Amino acid sequence: MAIYVNGQLLREALLRNAYTDREFCRITGMGQSVLRMMLFENAVSPGIAISDIVNCARAAGVSLDDLLTEPLPEPSTELEDDAVLLARTLTAIRKRQPTRRLAAALGWDLTHTHAVIQDLRARLEPLGLDVTIEPDVAITARGSGLAKITTELNRRRDNDDSLHHGAARTLYKIMTGNLGTRELPNDTQVQIGALANRGAIIFGESGPDRFTLSPDLRFALLDTAPSPTQRPPRPR
């Protein structure tokens, strides 16, 4: 059975002392095949003389114990890698997912899944983010104060983007009085909300006039319907 030799430690010693393989073998009296076995296989034949190993350690400037002792394995990074995988998964799907469904998809048990969630929470905390598990698992923002920024982003998006064709159809129906008074489909309700956010319509009383064009839009269209045609004054 081969004797273990710390090849990494020996390689670092040769580099530190600027030894070539040939020079090191000349100093220690070892053959180059023996040295290569130490360096690349982390082992040496049990038939080697003890004096050769002692000379090797002395020439490398390391202790005999360090040369012949296998280093402890590096700490496992499995949990850290799983936290990265979980973060990438939650970011990619962009929807809350039940814990059991996530665990099944990732091939983990529930105990490991909760441990990974806690690890990810600790790593996201300095960034102002969190991992919530109720009602389902998702990456969320910590604290408050984002409502104003979100509202402003939505307003700018509505101002910058062109009018959605669904919103255009809804606006045309409002202008022509053909929207109807019955319960509106969900898509139409969404378009009405978008038009209201852009200041295109205003809400009135129930009935045929529950949605009307805003004064700004009437002025822009030079609408002739009964309504003030002067542009509203700018707010001070």
Domain boundaries, the chain: 3-68, 78-141, 148-221
For residue 232, pLDDT over 60 is answered with no
- Across 64-78, 128-142, 190-204, the highest mean pLDDT is recorded for 128-142
Structure confidence at residue 51 (pLDDT): 87
Fold classification of 78-141 is Arc Repressor Mutant, subunit A (1.10.10)
Strand partners, 97: 137
Average pLDDT over every residue of 97-122: 91
Structure confidence at residue 87 (pLDDT): 92
Q: Specify the pTM.
A: 0.39
CB atoms within 10 A of CB 218: 19
In angstroms, the CA 131 to CA 150 distance is: 20
Per-residue pLDDT band for 224 (boundaries 50, 70, 90) equals low
Q: What are the angstrom distances between the C-alpha of 108 and each of 111, 112, 114, 144, 236? A: 8, 6, 10, 33, 60
206 residue type, one letter: S
Structure confidence at residue 208 (pLDDT): 63
Question: Residue 42: is it exposed, middle or buried by C-beta count within 10 angstroms (0-12/13-18/19+)?
Answer: middle
Among 1.10.287.470, 3.30.70.260, 3.40.720.10, 1.10.260.40, name the CATH number for the domain at 3-68: 1.10.260.40
Average pLDDT over every residue of 179-207: 78
User: Which of 182-196, 198-212, 222-236 shows the lowest per-residue confidence on average (mean pLDDT)?
Assistant: 222-236
Question: Residue 153: is it exposed, middle or buried by C-beta count within 10 angstroms (0-12/13-18/19+)?
Answer: exposed
In angstroms, the CA 140 to CA 45 distance is: 58
DSSP letter at 142 equals: -
Count helices and strands in the chain by DSSP H and E runs:
12, 6
Which is higher by pLDDT, 111 or 211?
A: 111
Structure confidence at residue 229 (pLDDT): 42
